Amino acid sequence: MHTDATTLPNGAVIEGDLCIVGAGASGITIARELNNSRLKVILLEGGGFDFDQKMQDLYRGEIVGQPYFPLQAAALHYFGGTTNHWAGWCATYEPIDFEKRDWVPHSGWPITRADLDPYYTRAAPILDIVPNKWDAAQWKNGDSERVPLISDSKLMWTKMWQFSPPTRMGQKYRAEIVNSPNVHLYTNANVVEVEANESVSAVQSVRIRGFDGKEYRARAKRFVLCCHSIQNARLLLASNRQAKAGLGNDNDVVGRYFMEHFEMPCAELALTRPESTGTKLYEFVKLGGTPRGEIAVTPAAQREQRILHGTCSLEAGNYGDPVLSTFQFLDTATMNQQRAWEKAGRKGEPPSTKPSEPPRTKGAPRFYHLSTRQEQAPNPDSRVSLSAEKDALGMPRAKLDWRVTDLDKHSMRTFYHLLGREMGRTDTGRVQIRDWLLSDDKTWPSFISGGWHHMGTLRMGTDPKQSVTDPNCRVHGISNLYIGGAAVYPTAGAVNPTLTLVALSLRLADHLKAST
Amino acid sequence: MNLDRRHFLQLSALGIVGTLTDIACSGRRDRPLDQPFLIATLGPDRVRELGARYRAQTPAENTADALRAALRNRGGLFAKSLDEMVEDDFAAGRVVLVDGWVLSLTEARQAALFSFNRA
């Protein structure tokens, strides 16, 4: 079922068993899992079925701290959420990502990778990738050149990525949701407040407001906030009529520990024997293309060196080429071109998402640009709070104060030291670390970049003083409020968050079904 | 001439090592000490520049004699080829950063020796 919320009368009340706020990767996944169940599910989506600048502007926010990409361009606000423009990169988090590491302050998930394994298996087909196929040897594809650059190493290994087409969940699962007998989708239903009972121990309703000033409420037995990490935190902080610091924020943790993945050019690789060194395993072919490897630091080396988890990609090029960070090469104009191309049915060649490359010398390339993908250390001072400015619905905008730590840069530099050693030991090549990375641990370049991966802000844990949600993603102290999405990640892992986000959403859906 | 360790030991037994030390230490590729294999990867100009930078950042090794001595002391006359020394350096973490390049100590010294040669 589907209703455009703008057609509801002012003061209308929607009632159900479960109310999901946000129809992106997490919300759609949970709703689909509950499709055809006994539960009456309300799915509230702030946007419509297509991009709308007015709606998108609700995501605009204030940026302080480290420079960041405009928030209104980093996540999408319509049915399908940010899967409407994601690039489809999928990889699993590693077991060490879930562990408490004594050299990484505030690390440690209350669940293990083994807990998530069955959900990774189930998440794969949802995103149109192959389940349980993550070893480089499984993607050789009969090609002798698709082999790891470094084998038999205690320091480095090859981490594999699969590429979703990318699955646009809003398109792929729209009919299933709209035709569901028990899931009722409301579009243009922007939630501006979560309303608790008098003792603030349970949520009673969410307040919805339209641009026309009309207000509605959704009441349910249980609620799941499935907006993205910044918006989920913003919504709880802005729900401050009954709890002054915001809902679920008795211990001032809501909004803290905002995390990104660093995606920045860090080094160059010169191959010793380019003609006989296979690098095909590391080639990025195109969106949705052949799985690709990245060189990653082993858990043993992370422990020994006391560094964060990171990988690096290889891209053939000329020595001295300018290389851009993720935030630099994909600007909002390019993203709009990509969106228009998809809207037109993906006809013809997709618009380039990279600047034109300088002509290469003939023969097998000797030089490769190495770009980092690395977790950042959880940092309570890296946070989302409320801006003094309000959006068109009267809700305080988000204020992002992205902060990084010495360990972040130290880890990145150590990674390339180790990689340089292994490339030299195996005589595969030599590594040159870029100047900016060789300076002190505190100085960051102007092109500091994430990957539009918003994580943390409502982290999962067992101690309410250190976390917002429990291991089942339920907000501490509020009996019927859950969080879906990457906001609950205590640490960021080295790889993109979407696959893990869908896996966690499946786990949450199972919990909701089991506890009905 | 392909001087591997077996040949080297044979020549040593014949007492003609002294004249060949520079070559012997360079291992199977019969390169002299001041011809690092790195040249094939990075080119002579860049290696020369790296060598000059290494000398600047390591004043105690800013003469050809000091560099030769350091290389011979490291390798040991009957120990390992330069290739093996380079590999061992990387494995053991005996690396130096020169202009951001992660180099083995041995090849950095070779580059420094090479930098004394005119272009």
Instruction: Report which of residues A349 and B90 the model is more confident about.
Output: B90
pLDDT for res B23: 46
Check: CB of residue B107 under 8 Å from CB of residue B115. Answer: no
- The answer to whether residue B69 neighbours chain A at the CB level (below 8 Å) is no
Banded model confidence at residue B79, pLDDT cuts 50, 70, 90:
low
Query: Which residue in A430, A436, A437 has the most chain B C-beta atoms within 10 A of its own C-beta, making it the best mutation to test that interface?
Result: A430
- The answer to whether residue B43 neighbours chain A at the CB level (below 8 Å) is no
Domain contains A381? no
Q: How far apart are CA A483 and CA A247, in angstroms?
A: 12
Q: Based on the fold, state whether residues A198 and A302 are members of the same structural domain.
A: no
Q: How far apart are CA B100 and CA B96, in angstroms?
A: 9
Phi, psi for B27 (deg, rounded to 5): 85, -155
- The answer to whether residue B35 neighbours chain A at the CB level (below 8 Å) is no
Domain contains A37? yes
Domain contains A77? yes
Q: Based on the fold, state whether residues A196 and A256 are members of the same structural domain.
A: yes
Please, which residues bridge with residue A310 across strands? Answer: A374
Of the CA atoms within 13 Å of residue A508, those in its CB half-sphere come to 36
Contacts of A313 (CB under 8 A, 6+ apart): A282, A284, A292, A294, A370, A371, A373
The domain spanning residue A242 has which CATH number? 3.50.50.60
- The answer to whether residue A427 neighbours chain B at the CB level (below 8 Å) is yes
Put simply, the answer to whether A435 touches B104 (Cβ < 8 Å) is no
- The answer to whether residue A271 neighbours chain B at the CB level (below 8 Å) is yes
Q: CA–CA distance from A418 to each of A269, A298, A411, A433, B91 (Å)? A: 13, 10, 10, 11, 10
Token digits of residue A422: 């292994």
Q: Based on the fold, state whether residues A371 and A494 are members of the same structural domain.
A: no
Q: Based on the fold, state whether residues A337 and A482 are members of the same structural domain.
A: no
pLDDT for res A287: 76
Domain contains A459? yes
CA B38 distance to own-chain centroid: 10
Q: Based on the fold, state whether residues A178 and A117 are members of the same structural domain.
A: yes
Put simply, the answer to whether A417 touches B102 (Cβ < 8 Å) is yes
Please list the alpha-helical segments (H only) found in A202-298. 229-238
Query: Which residue in A272, A304, A417, A425 has the most chain B C-beta atoms within 10 A of its own C-beta, making it the best mutation to test that interface?
Result: A425
- The answer to whether residue A272 neighbours chain B at the CB level (below 8 Å) is yes
Q: Which of A154, A183, A464 is CA-nearest to residue A298?
A: A154
A436 contacts in chain B (CB < 8 Å):
none
3-state SS string for A337-401: HHHHHHHCCCCCCCCCCCCCCCCCCCCCCCEEEEEEEEECCCCCCCEEEEEEEECCCCCEEEEEE
Q: How far apart are CA A127 and CA B25, in angstroms?
A: 57
Q: Based on the fold, state whether residues A428 and A504 are members of the same structural domain.
A: no
Q: How far apart are CA A302 and CA A157, in angstroms?
A: 12
pLDDT for res A350: 64
Q: Based on the fold, state whether residues A45 and A177 are members of the same structural domain.
A: yes
Q: Based on the fold, state whether residues A369 and A421 are members of the same structural domain.
A: yes
Query: Which residue in B29, B39, B41 has the most chain A C-beta atoms within 10 A of its own C-beta, making it the best mutation to test that interface?
Result: B41
Domain contains A515? yes
Strands A183-187 and A41-44: parallel
Domain contains A356? no
pLDDT for res A206: 98
Phi, psi for A241 (deg, rounded to 5): -75, -40
pLDDT for res B14: 37
pLDDT for res A255: 98
Residue of chain A whose alpha carbon sits nearest to that of B94: A421
- The answer to whether residue B104 neighbours chain A at the CB level (below 8 Å) is yes
Q: How far apart are CA A232 and CA A247, in angstroms?
A: 11
Q: Count how many residues are written for chain B.
A: 119
pLDDT for res A2: 98
Q: Predicted ipTM?
A: 0.88
Put simply, the answer to whether B99 touches A416 (Cβ < 8 Å) is no
Indicate if the pLDDT at residue B17 is higher than 60: no
Count Cβ neighbours within 10 Å for each residue of A456-474 and write b for 16 or more, e otherwise: bbbbbbeebebbbbbbbbb
Q: Where are the domains of chain B?
A: 5-114
Phi, psi for B34 (deg, rounded to 5): -90, 20
- The answer to whether residue A438 neighbours chain B at the CB level (below 8 Å) is yes
Q: Coil, strand or helix: which one is A208?
A: strand
Q: What is the pLDDT along chain A (516 residues), one digit of tens a residue?
A: 999 999 999 999 999 999 999 999 999 999 999 999 999 999 999 999 999 999 999 999 999 989 898 899 889 999 999 999 899 999 999 999 999 999 999 999 999 999 999 999 999 999 999 999 999 999 988 888 899 999 889 999 999 999 999 999 999 999 999 999 999 999 999 999 999 999 999 999 999 999 999 999 999 999 999 999 999 999 999 999 999 999 999 999 999 999 999 999 999 999 999 998 989 999 988 777 899 999 999 999 999 999 999 999 999 998 888 887 777 776 666 666 766 766 677 677 666 655 555 555 677 899 999 999 999 999 999 999 999 999 999 999 999 999 999 999 999 999 999 999 999 999 999 999 999 999 899 999 988 999 999 999 999 999 999 999 999 999 999 999 999 999 999 999 999 999 999 999 999 999 999 987
Banded model confidence at residue B9, pLDDT cuts 50, 70, 90:
very low
Q: Based on the fold, state whether residues A222 and A300 are members of the same structural domain.
A: no
Q: Which of A367, A126, A472, A105 is CA-nearest to residue A257?
A: A105
- The answer to whether residue A270 neighbours chain B at the CB level (below 8 Å) is yes
Please, which residues bridge with residue A200 across strands? Answer: none
Token digits of residue A474: 């339920």
- The answer to whether residue B29 neighbours chain A at the CB level (below 8 Å) is no
Partner residue facing A420 (CB), from B38, B41, B95: B95
Residue of chain B whose alpha carbon sits nearest to that of A413: B100
Q: Based on the fold, state whether residues A121 and A203 are members of the same structural domain.
A: yes
Partner residue facing A430 (CB), from B91, B93, B101: B101
Put simply, the answer to whether B93 touches A432 (Cβ < 8 Å) is no
> What is the number of domains present in chain A?
2
Q: How far apart are CA A63 and CA A69, in angstroms?
A: 9
pLDDT for res A515: 86
Please, which residues bridge with residue A312 across strands? Answer: A295, A372
Domain contains A513? yes
Cα separation of the two ends of chain A: 22
- pTM score, two decimals? 0.91
Q: Based on the fold, state whether residues A332 and A472 are members of the same structural domain.
A: no
Domain contains A506? yes
Q: Based on the fold, state whether residues A184 and A205 are members of the same structural domain.
A: yes
Residue A99 DSSP one-character state: S
**If 0-12 CB within 10 Å is exposed, 13-18 middle and 19+ buried, where does residue A142 land?**
exposed
Range of the domain at A219: 1-127+168-260+453-516
Q: How far is A441 from chain B (nearest CA, A)?
A: 16
Check: CB of residue A463 under 8 Å from CB of residue A298. Answer: no
Residue of chain A whose alpha carbon sits nearest to that of B46: A319
Put simply, the answer to whether B41 touches A270 (Cβ < 8 Å) is yes
Phi, psi for A455 (deg, rounded to 5): -135, 165
Q: Where is the domain boundary, A397, A421, A443?
A: A443
A240 Rama sector, left if φ>0, alpha if ψ -120 to 50, beta otherwise: alpha
pLDDT for res A490: 98
pLDDT for res A145: 85
Check: CB of residue A177 under 8 Å from CB of residue A193. Answer: no
B97 contacts in chain A (CB < 8 Å):
433, 438
Contacts of A455 (CB under 8 A, 6+ apart): A229, A258, A259, A260, A486, A487, A489, A492, A497
User: Among A187-191, B9-13, B96-100, which stretch is predicted with the lowest mean pLDDT?
Assistant: B9-13
Check: CB of residue B82 under 8 Å from CB of residue B68. Answer: no
pLDDT for res A431: 98
- The answer to whether residue B54 neighbours chain A at the CB level (below 8 Å) is no
Put simply, the answer to whether B41 touches A424 (Cβ < 8 Å) is no
Residue of chain A whose alpha carbon sits nearest to that of B98: A432
